[in-house]
Amino acid sequence: MRKIVIFSGTTEGRKLSSLLSEANIAHDVCVATQYGADVMEESAFAKVHTGPMDVDEMKAFLKRNGYTSSDLILDATHPYAMQASENIAAAAKSTDVPYIRIIRERAKTEDAICYDSAASCAQALRNEDGNILLTTGVKELHEFCTHIPEEMKGRIYVRILPSEESIKACRAEGIDPGAIIAMQGPVASEMNRAVFAQYGIRHLITKESGTAGGFPEKLQAAEEEHVKCHIISRPGEEEGISVYEAYEQITGKRIPKEIVLIGCGCGGKDQLTAEAKSAIDQADAVFGASRLIKTFGRGLTFQMYRAEDILPILQTREEIRKAVILFSGDSGFYSGAKNMIRSLQQEQDIMLRVLPGISSVSALSARTLESYDDAILFSLHGRTDPNGLQELMHKLRHNRKTFVLLSGDADVNAIGKALLENRIPCRIFLGRDLSYETETLFEVTPEEAAGYNDGGVLTALLINDEPERKRITPVLKDEELIRGNVPMTKESIRHESILELDLREGDVLYDVGGGTGSVAIEAALLSPTLRIYSFEQNEEAFELIRANAEKFKTANVTPVRGCAPEAFSGIENPDCVFIGGSGGKLREILQAVTVKKRNVRYVLNAVTMETIDETGRLLTEFGATDIRIRQVAVNDVVSRGAYHMLQAQNPVMIFSFVL
């Protein structure tokens, strides 16, 4: 079996050892200090060797442990430890053991001042005021202190590893004990900011330690706290491969990235589940909207939540192996997580998990003591158009409880105005800033809602104590419609025709020769999800369609003035077509629709022999399928003095077919 040794003491070394252990690959790990050994993860596959070694000692170690040309040396020492890397490379060459350098990705440093040494940095800071935080390690501390006056040490703070050697080195340089911050990195941006604030830091001195060493978090915190950043540059460009490239080279396998989508609930600090907190703590990077990042973000953060922005970072930033994407509310309830899941499932080498959160609906349910298992759940986000409001009013009219997700004041205003216009008696409870310290719960009337402008993150519960009982067969009677002097598809024929259309939720229906709009209106009342276009060239009839649509609040009916099929231009493709009048252009209408879309269901009403004859021929010519032809003759009973007589309506031939 191939022997592997990792010369470690860095985040990269620990990570590579952990990955090899997870793959059940035995290996040696060499660290220079006891502290380096203490922070290694315990593993039956990793044998840790502690203590500094020069070239000869490294050679002896390799020979003693039987390393040959078929084995492998991985140099994962610090990028600034040039002498250590030179010694490892020399020992590898002398013993003929293959050598690979593990390199750390560089981070961007555009907004910082860079120096080639700690000495030059010290010289530059002689003329600067304010406290200084030095995070370069004890080796550079000595060089820095050698080039500054003694009185300047009183405003120097040093962040070091929590080891005895580091603390002794600080004391040897005359650093006050109260100015020594012993902490294991990498350090999150929030902690950096806290240190800057507590000690009044105005200057940060750091090495260009890369993403794994917490360098981006230092830069981010420095920018946010207006701390000037001074960077001691790396000695030079290195050749090598990353931790993950090394793993793939050793095992022949790619490491899938673990992506966790988290519902953060209403947004309060205490809303996260323990599982979600653990995922954030273990993540290499956290993505989300600025509000969520500010509350829940840790370590490396990105203020973005769209797949097109996040995916390029996941694809190019190799060091990000575990990432968290934050979403407000519950990940499974009107959440942006839905589209993100769809995008990530198309990517290779990604393991996806989704963790739910506490939605604002469940929070408002708890606050109002009203259950939501017997309620309607609705989102008005981006849906305050007439169709969205019509669908909501339809639900409010026929249900006692409706929970509504809102975008803000404008949605509250729209609900209030729509309730007044539709005369629906609802009580409105608003939950503002649920889970935050500013949380409030209050009731408003529809009139008050129409003028609401107090802001906040809002969720509504609307209660209709006297909901209308929904019709089992929601059909219109002729006398309910505004008639005028325009011919109308009569009640019985209208009902049969709509049944033959076999409408499904979400369908687009063309009503050709709309007349009074009776077919369009009755169909629209079946479901607010239908989108209906009623085409009519006659001015009086067109106005009747508009008047009836207004009377019955069917915002999903769009009257279109014009002659079919020319008026079809620019209209979305239909799923169903009702032809009540063709204006002598039946062939052109069928041809125009078939060009737009195939497998459309048609219903055509014919009352003249000429139309019946033409329809029969066109069904054959166009290759219609699923043909049903039915003649309907309806007789009404009317009063004539003391007698009741049968009065026949014109018989109608109803054709239904698919083209």
Regarding whether 616 and 482 lie in a shared domain, the answer is: yes
| Secondary structure letter of residue 433 according to DSSP | S
Residue type, position 193, single letter: R
Average pLDDT over residues 84-110: 84
When mean pLDDT is compared across 246-250, 357-361, 472-476, the lowest value belongs to: 472-476
Regarding whether 532 and 398 lie in a shared domain, the answer is: no
Task: Encode pLDDT of 382-440 as tens digits.
Answer: 888 888 898 899 899 999 999 999 999 999 999 999 999 999 999 999 999 999 889 99
Average pLDDT over residues 294-312: 91
Band (pLDDT 50/70/90 cuts) for residue 109 is low
Determine the number of helices (DSSP H) and then strands (DSSP E) in the chain. 23, 30
**CA within 13 Å, CB half, 605:** 26
Distance CA 94, CA 54 (A): 13
Residue 6: what pLDDT? Answer: 95
Task: Encode pLDDT of 609-624 as tens digits.
Answer: 999 999 999 999 999 9
Residue 72 lies in a domain: yes
Query: What CATH number is attached to the domain comprising 44?
Result: 3.40.50.720
- Does residue 272 contact residue 105 with C-beta atoms inside 8 Å? no
Average pLDDT over residues 136-141: 82
Statement: residue 105 has pLDDT above 70: no
- Look at the pTM and tell me if it is higher than 0.75: no
Query: What CATH number is attached to the domain comprising 317?
Result: 3.40.1010.10
Statement: residue 107 has pLDDT above 60: no
Among residues 306, 340, 358, which one ends one of the domains? 358
When comparing pLDDT for 490 and 501, which is higher? 501
Regarding whether 450 and 365 lie in a shared domain, the answer is: yes
Q: How many domains does the chain have?
A: 5
Average pLDDT over residues 218-223: 84
Statement: residue 208 has pLDDT above 90: no
Average pLDDT over residues 508-517: 95
Residue 157 lies in a domain: yes
Distance CA 549, CA 524 (A): 9
- Does residue 277 contact residue 294 with C-beta atoms inside 8 Å? no
Regarding whether 339 and 371 lie in a shared domain, the answer is: no
Regarding whether 567 and 422 lie in a shared domain, the answer is: no
Residue 314 lies in a domain: yes
Residue 80: what pLDDT? Answer: 73
Regarding whether 380 and 268 lie in a shared domain, the answer is: no
Task: Tell me the pLDDT of the chain averaged across its residues.
Answer: 90
Neighbouring residues of 436: CB distance < 8 A, sequence distance ≥ 6: 266, 267, 268, 457
Task: Encode pLDDT of 149-207 as tens digits.
Answer: 888 888 999 998 888 888 898 898 888 899 999 988 778 777 888 899 999 999 999 88
Regarding whether 519 and 439 lie in a shared domain, the answer is: no
Residue 536: what pLDDT? Answer: 95
Residue 108 lies in a domain: no
Tally of CB atoms within 10 A around 319: 18
Among residues 54, 80, 101, which one ends one of the domains? 101
Query: What CATH number is attached to the domain comprising 621?
Result: 3.40.50.150
Regarding whether 96 and 118 lie in a shared domain, the answer is: no
When comparing pLDDT for 27 and 348, which is higher? 27
The pairing of beta strand 601-606 with beta strand 652-658: antiparallel
Q: What percent of the chain has pLDDT over 70?
A: 97
Distance CA 61, CA 261 (A): 46
Residue 572 lies in a domain: yes
Distance CA 632, CA 614 (A): 19
Residue 461: what pLDDT? Answer: 98
Residue 203: what pLDDT? Answer: 93
Residue 471 lies in a domain: no
Task: Encode pLDDT of 532-573 as tens digits.
Answer: 999 999 999 999 999 999 898 898 999 999 999 999 999 999
- Does residue 365 contact residue 431 with C-beta atoms inside 8 Å? no
Average pLDDT over residues 287-310: 91
When comparing pLDDT for 257 and 417, which is higher? 417
The residue range of the domain holding 405 is 361-463
Q: CA angle, corner 334, sides to 330 and 337, nearest 5?
A: 65
Regarding whether 509 and 644 lie in a shared domain, the answer is: yes
Residue 106 lies in a domain: no
Band (pLDDT 50/70/90 cuts) for residue 238 is low
Regarding whether 145 and 173 lie in a shared domain, the answer is: yes
Highest mean pLDDT among 27-41, 262-276, 406-420: 406-420
Residue 472 lies in a domain: no
C-beta pairs of 88-95 under 8 Å, 24+ apart in sequence: 88/7, 88/58, 90/55, 91/55, 91/58, 91/59, 91/62, 92/62, 94/55, 94/59, 95/59, 95/62, 95/63, 95/67
Residue 615: what pLDDT? Answer: 95
Regarding whether 93 and 43 lie in a shared domain, the answer is: yes
Among residues 67, 101, 135, which one ends one of the domains? 101
Regarding whether 197 and 118 lie in a shared domain, the answer is: yes
Q: What percent of the chain has pLDDT over 90?
A: 58
Task: Encode pLDDT of 572-615 as tens digits.
Answer: 999 999 999 898 999 999 999 999 999 999 999 999 999 999 99
Task: Encode pLDDT of 270-287 as tens digits.
Answer: 888 889 998 998 898 999
Query: What CATH number is attached to the domain comprising 452?
Result: 3.30.950.10
